[in-house]
Structure 1
Amino acid sequence: MHSQTAASSSYRKELGDGLVLRWSTPADTERLTQLAAHVFRDKAEEPPNEDMGAYARALMQGDHPLMSSYDFGLVEDTHKEGNPVVACACLWRHEWEYEGLRFPVGRPEIVASDPQYRNRGLIRELFALLHARSESEGHPVQAITGIPYFYRQFGYEYALDLGGSCTINLALLPQLKAGGQETCQLRSATRADIDFIQHCYTRRQADSIVWNSLPDAFWQYHIDAWHQVPLNVHNDLQLILDPAGERLGYVFAMARRGGPRFTVWAMDIAPGVNAQQVMPSLLHALKALGEQAIVTQTNVGPLQKLSLSLGGSHPLYTVISKQLVPVINKPYAWYVRVHDLPAFLYRLAPVLERRLAASALAGYSGDLKLNFYRDGVQLTFKAGKLEQVTPWRVPTYEANASASFAPLVFLQLLFGYRKLEDLRYAFPDTNVADEAEALLGVLFPTRPSFVFG
């Protein structure tokens, strides 16, 4: 009942000292904008981050594909004039897939608190609010891209690769030879290009255990933004064309540059295109796009580096000339939270059964008992089918766990992020019974996932 209440737009909670926790309305737009601009700065003496403020304002316009203007949780100080917003976080909605099985995901974003109000538990209150709404909407998983360590305290674990990039020093990029012709060019995407963009974007899906299924509305939003308030645009969606105007691929890049680096967030080439032949001209086009980006700060200086943030690995990385000395930067990680692990594992039954059927353990019957020290789960199989997944605790005497993992560490195995032997090496309290090792390897293989975020 509490979760249903907290999920409601009318929910309101007094936190003491005039602080009130509630959900946003469009009337809160400017106060949320002011908080974001104030908090997201590297130094106290820096001016407000107008770029971040504009981003918060754009999220509150009511047309974002992942949230509405009623999806910011906020804390306001009613004892101060104007009731300033002193902490906030919003909830986005994604559709992810686990080897083709789709499920909704709640994603906290724009987490901010005024430095004068920190260490009072305001972010904990906000996350309880966001979790309540996310769970009430049927999201079995929450995920966030956030600062190191912090979100562990709210039940999150690093469990998927996030980002990873290839950085190119543009000073090393050779000029087009005299009399030469570029093999590709860029143009702004239109709504008519969305099907083609989706076709290119999903080419890597089969390589990932987990995949972010972006809706058409996501691409449409970034296309339409240029025709509404161009100065508030944060991302630029471009098509890669050959000299005859035929579509070769797409580029999703930053539209605003606050430093010497220009970042491409996603880029894929259509099937049948010779990426190696296109790449030199594509890099020239990306350099020009970066030079045209909206400059958000004074004294930014010239563009120096191009960052292709396409994951820890990408087929396009392999066709970049070694003469450019590309630097591969390792991924960070998504934080992932699964609030009801037995229910989520049972939801994955078709995937787990398919893995079993294709293995040397086809037709397996038995129990897999996973001990998480504070609690655990039991997966019961019969003739290769997952009959049930139930909460389980290791008995006081005659412990019979199939495997043991410290709390939340199992999520790294579940999402294919780390191998069992890696977890044993990093966490000495990871133990696996001999008879369960092969089964765990079949049910939970390791494979890097590119989850666009």
Structure 2
Amino acid sequence: MLHPRPHPVRRELQGGMVLRTLEAEAELSGPCAVNAAVHGPEVGALLRSLALHHPDMDPRDVIWVEDQGEVVSTVCGIPWGLYLSGVQLSALELGLVATLERWRGRGFQRAMVGFFRERIQERGAHLSIIQGIPGFYRQFGYTYVLPLEGGLILEHRQLPATEHGLRVRKATPGDIPALAALHQGLTRELELHATRSEEVWSYLLEHAVETGTEGEFWVCERADAAAGYMFFPKHHFGDELVVSEAVATGTDTALAMLSHAVALSRERGTPGVRLSLHDGSTISQLARAGGTRHGPLRVAGVVPRHTEAPRRAAASAHRPTARVGMGRPHWRDCV
């Protein structure tokens, strides 16, 4: 979010170019336009939404290079909270990486990544993560660590409509306490998962419309109490209806949510449902008998040299087949 005193950065680069960070809301138009041109309008909108509404954003996390006032290249530091083997970690995602085509190949990204590394240390973050072009970010010290998408694909015929007696409806901001409690309770069994404050929940439900993280949260109720929820992202790979996050407190809840997902898929004309969830979830276990696996993408991560916390956490993870829940970014963790 924009602070009253953002302490903006301005650094001269070679060739008269300038590296800058955000100072005022009016300056967002340039970085947003670059991301919209490179990635699509929803990503430009995402940058604006993050900068103005995400509770953990700092204006200095919005970074760009400009030429005589024209923004030509951007990166953005997106904050995460992570939990690894009993250790609470903070992470900064290198995201919204974009350079206008005629300005590529001039080293702007390398200059901004150098400043981004400074931001990692200023924030006291334990590690950085990225979701991007396979292989490209190895030059900046990143390596592949976790599967990102993929999952089980269900065709409509594999899960006929069933009577379950539970109510499934779209979530509202009034559901945030219940959603947060479900999320926290179910992530305790995971070796690695993202943490999420109620303020971040509010951001997701109220400020993600028309952005790259837009989607629908649906709540499953048993006797007027929330028994589970699921999230359908609007933007994803593939043509299926994707479930990128789901929590079910019982088999009946999982069946009700699967049935609802298939019904939505039929209604919206998609070829099936893809469960981009971890293999140990109740919903994945129920669906596995009839589903087929889709090849995963990858998320890359790097541990900065200045901290030993992630290494200590990794050393304490003694289960060889530990389950993880991260999911699609920037904000989703599959449960």
* TM-score normalised according to structure 2 size: 0.82
- CA shift for structure 1 position 141: 1.0
Confirm or deny: 8 A CA contact 1:162 1:450 kept in the other structure.
no
Structure 2 CA distance for aligned equivalents of residues 148 and 172 of structure 1: 33
Paired residue for 2:228? 249
Deviations 1:152-210 (A, max 9, x none): 1111122234344222223654345xxxx443332232444333323322345344332
Paired residue for 2:326? 451
Out of 53, 76, 83, the position equivalent to 2:66 is 76
- CA shift for structure 1 position 16: 2.9
- CA shift for structure 1 position 267: 0.4
Out of 32, 50, 58, the position equivalent to 2:49 is 58
Paired residue for 1:85? 71
Label 1:199 to 1:346 Cα distance change in 2 as closer, same or farther (>3 A): closer
Matched, 1:262 2:241: yes
Quick one: which amino acid aligns to residue 21 of structure 1? L
Out of 253, 258, 264, the position equivalent to 1:283 is 258
- CA shift for structure 1 position 134: 1.6
Confirm or deny: 8 A CA contact 2:89 2:126 kept in the other structure.
yes
Quick one: which amino acid aligns to residue 73 of structure 1? I
Label 1:164 to 1:31 Cα distance change in 2 as closer, same or farther (>3 A): same
- Partner of 2:308: helix, strand, or coil? helix
Structure 1 CA distance for aligned equivalents of residues 142 and 65 of structure 2: 22
- Partner of 2:169: helix, strand, or coil? strand
**Aligned ranges for residues 225-240 of structure 1 at < 5 Å?**
225=207, 230-231=209-210, 234-240=214-220
Structure 1 CA distance for aligned equivalents of residues 129 and 177 of structure 2: 27
- CA shift for structure 1 position 290: 5.6
Larger radius of gyration: 1
Quick one: which amino acid aligns to residue 34 of structure 2? L
Structure 1 window deviating more from structure 2 (306-315 vs 22-31): it is 306-315
Paired residue for 1:319? 286
Structure 2 CA distance for aligned equivalents of residues 218 and 194 of structure 1: 10
- CA shift for structure 1 position 133: 1.1
- CA shift for structure 1 position 132: 0.5
Greater relative contact order structure (CA < 8 Å, 6+ sep): 2
Confirm or deny: 8 A CA contact 2:248 2:254 kept in the other structure.
no
Paired residue for 1:122? 108
Q: Which runs of 5+ in 1 are unaligned?
A: 1-7, 41-48, 294-301, 356-415, 417-441
Structure 1 CA distance for aligned equivalents of residues 245 and 55 of structure 2: 18
Structure 2 CA distance for aligned equivalents of residues 267 and 127 of structure 1: 34
Q: Which runs of 5+ in 2 are unaligned?
A: 1-5, 330-335
Paired residue for 1:135? 121
- CA shift for structure 1 position 65: 3.0
Q: How many residues align?
A: 321
Deviations 1:387-436 (A, max 9, x none): xxxxxxxxxxxxxxxxxxxxxxxxxxxxx6xxxxxxxxxxxxxxxxxxxx
- CA shift for structure 1 position 89: 0.9
Matched, 1:113 2:99: yes
Deviations 1:240-263 (A, max 9, x none): 123x43322011222468974322
Out of 285, 298, 306, the position equivalent to 1:333 is 298
- CA shift for structure 1 position 67: 1.8
Out of 348, 360, 373, the position equivalent to 2:312 is 348
Structure 2 CA distance for aligned equivalents of residues 97 and 224 of structure 1: 25
Paired residue for 2:20? 22
Root-mean-square deviation (CA, aligned residues, Å) is 3.1
Confirm or deny: 8 A CA contact 1:163 1:312 kept in the other structure.
no
Structure 2 CA distance for aligned equivalents of residues 192 and 10 of structure 1: 36
Paired residue for 1:166? 152
Confirm or deny: 8 A CA contact 1:312 1:331 kept in the other structure.
no
* TM-score normalised according to structure 1 size: 0.63
Confirm or deny: 8 A CA contact 1:164 1:313 kept in the other structure.
no
Structure 2 CA distance for aligned equivalents of residues 262 and 346 of structure 1: 35
Structure 2 CA distance for aligned equivalents of residues 142 and 223 of structure 1: 25
Label 1:108 to 1:164 Cα distance change in 2 as closer, same or farther (>3 A): same
Confirm or deny: 8 A CA contact 1:235 1:254 kept in the other structure.
yes
Confirm or deny: 8 A CA contact 2:154 2:292 kept in the other structure.
yes
Quick one: which amino acid aligns to residue 200 of structure 2? F
Confirm or deny: 8 A CA contact 1:163 1:311 kept in the other structure.
no
Confirm or deny: 8 A CA contact 1:37 1:50 kept in the other structure.
yes
